[in-house]
């Protein structure tokens, strides 16, 4: 497998975002719809933000609300862990 350049990844992120009709693209959605694998994207120490910047696409970040909503939907009978998780996420840099 050849090493994929930043420009190749950026071009595919741009193409994928355009095809999906979005201005922001998260890594998970890209991995479902884009052409390159997680290994190819992160090979050589890249992060998700770098090729998004080159592509001119905002990288979509997961925020604590997503985790809280997910937890509540999965385990509605356990409200206290949601509060613990929220506090933990606020403390994590």
The predicted-structure confidence for 30-84, as pLDDT tens digits, reads as follows 999 999 999 999 887 888 888 999 999 988 765 544 555 555 566 555 555 555 5
List the domain range (segments joined by +) for residue 78.
62-93
- What tokens does 18 get? 């355009």
Alpha helices in 1-93 (DSSP H): 6-20, 27-33, 38-42, 49-55, 64-74, 79-91
- What tokens does 75 get? 């385990």
What distances in angstroms separate CA 15 from CA 2, 22, 32, 60, 87, one per listed residue?
21, 10, 14, 16, 38
Same domain, yes or no, for 16 and 53? Answer: yes
Average of per-residue pLDDT across 17-23: 93
Same domain, yes or no, for 33 and 78? Answer: no
Check residue 64 and give its pLDDT: 45
- Is 71 a member of any domain? yes
- Is 40 a member of any domain? yes
């Amino acid at each position: 497998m050849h090493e994929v350049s930043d420009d190749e990844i950026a071009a595919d992120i741009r193409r994928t975002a355009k095809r999906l009709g979005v201005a922001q693209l998260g890594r998970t959605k890209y991995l479902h719809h884009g052409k390159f694998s997680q290994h190819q994207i992160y090979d050589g120490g890249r992060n998700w933000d770098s090729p998004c910047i080159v592509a001119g696409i905002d990288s979509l970040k997961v925020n604590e609300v997503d985790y809280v909503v997910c937890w509540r939907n999965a385990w509605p009978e356990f409200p206290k862990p949601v509060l613990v998780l929220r506090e933990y996420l606020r403390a994590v840099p």
